[in-house]
Amino acid sequence: MSGHAQAGSLVAVVMGVSGSGKTTVAALLAGRLGWEFAEADDFHPPANIAKMRGGTPLDDADRLPWLRAIAAQIDRWCAEHKSGIVTCSALKRRYRDIIIGDRPGVRLVYLRGPRDLILHRMAARHGHFMPVSLLDSQFADLEEPDPDERPIAVSIGNPPAVLVAEIIGALGLGGPPRDRLPA
């Protein structure tokens, strides 16, 4: 794969099923660290959004251009020596292989939580294209990260600020916010 992280850059991919809090946690994390932020939903082509809005789960063919676009964003940040946070459901190992692959400066953050809690959160949110009816398909597709993927797994039962502190600690970035890791 191209786009290996350069010295001084780090990218975190915040993953989990829809409704797990990816956008909330990732935006807080990026703000706290002063890093770039990208929301994976913004990389979906309109046809994908329409399909999900209509209650039809995406298949692997639908996801491939989306995953490649996210990987390209990660590669841009790395080439520019920038650190960033990107959300992505990244439900299957093969999806994570596309967006993370052998990029050494990219870490996986897995927001883990029970279906009932996530269902409650999805039912309470407004204006999102992903209907609650697709939650079961998300869990059916979910392949939890294996240890060799070096995931940072956090429980979504904690408040977002607590999750952000846990993630920062696990990334070895305790202390004051900084733009990038030391070279």
How do residues 66-101 score in pLDDT, each as one tens digit?
999 999 999 999 999 999 999 999 999 999 999 999
Residue 162 within any structural domain of the chain: yes
Could you tell me the CATH number of the domain that includes residue 113? 3.40.50.300
Among positive and negative, which fits the CA dihedral 26, 132, 145, 153?
positive
Mean pLDDT of the chain: 84
Residue 113 within any structural domain of the chain: yes
Q: Which helix (H) or strand (E) holds 167?
A: helix 160-170
What are the φ and ψ backbone dihedral angles of 79, each rounded to 5 degrees? Answer: -65, -30
Residue 181 within any structural domain of the chain: no
Residue 3 within any structural domain of the chain: no
What are the φ and ψ backbone dihedral angles of 157, each rounded to 5 degrees? Answer: -70, -20
Q: Which structural domain range is residue 43 located in? A: 11-170
Residue 6 within any structural domain of the chain: no
Give the number of domains in the chain. 1
pLDDT-based confidence at 171, cuts 50/70/90?
Answer: very high
- The residue that leads in pLDDT, 2 or 97, is 97
Q: How far apart are CA 85 and CA 77, in angstroms?
A: 10
Mean pLDDT of 93-114: 94
- Tell me, yes or no, if the pTM score tops 0.85: no
Residue 123 within any structural domain of the chain: yes
Residue 175 within any structural domain of the chain: no
Could you tell me if 164 and 25 are in contact, meaning their C-beta atoms sit under 8 angstroms apart? yes
- Give the pLDDT of residue 125: 56
Residue 78 within any structural domain of the chain: yes
Q: How far apart are CA 144 and CA 48, in angstroms?
A: 24
